[in-house]
Every structure is written in C-alpha cells, then in structure tokens.
Amino acid sequence: MADPKEIQNFDELRKLRLADEGYFVITDTVRGAIIHKVNSKCITADKFNLKVSINGRKQGSYFWVDSIPTAARKFGAKRCKVCKPEFTLVFPSTFET
C-alpha cells in the first residue's frame, strides 16, 4: 500500500490522469473526503484551481491514492456517487470464460 500523495499543481494532476492508475481523493472541510476515478469528469482544472490555488487548500485538497482501501483508511473517504469508482475494480473480462 502506497502513501497518499498530495497533488501540488495541475500538471501533476494531468500526468496522473494520463497514467490512469489509482484514484483521486478530494478532501473538503464541509463535505468530507470523496474518492473519484482518475479519469472522472468530476476532476476539472477549474475545480482544482479554485480549491488549491485560489482557496489555498483552506477547505481541502487533492490527493492521489493507489487504492480505495488506502483512501478509506487514510481519509475515511466515501466513494463518489457520480463516477462510482468501485466499478473500476471489476473488469469486463471477469465475466468472460
């Protein structure tokens, strides 16, 4: 299990999306921490800039994690209801024989 990594800038976020591994956790002082798929539409440059640059991480931040159990253990994060990251654990090939 890898440690969560705080994302410092949008370029880093972009590279993680391209790598297409793991998950993003967005922490929020009001809503709590939420796990998203790395390629989810929930993750946008505008939202990232607002939270990290403009609000200066006062209300939360962006992290990369290797797995849903890591996110749950380190942040008590909940799965996003929009991009439903749990479904990425089951590959279509699971159902083929």
80 near Zn ion (CB under 5 A): yes
- Measured between alpha carbons, how far is 70 from 61 in angstroms, rounded to an integer? 16
In the bound complex, which residue of the shown chain has the CB atom lying closest to Zn ion?
80
Q: Is 75 helix (H, G, I), strand (E, B) or coil?
A: helix
- Measured between alpha carbons, how far is 70 from 89 in angstroms, rounded to an integer? 14
40 near Zn ion (CB under 5 A): yes
Q: Between residues 58 and 81, which has the closer beta carbon with respect to Zn ion? A: 81
Q: Which of residues 5-24 bind Zn ion (CB under 5 A)?
A: none
CB of 45 to Zn ion, least distance (A): 15
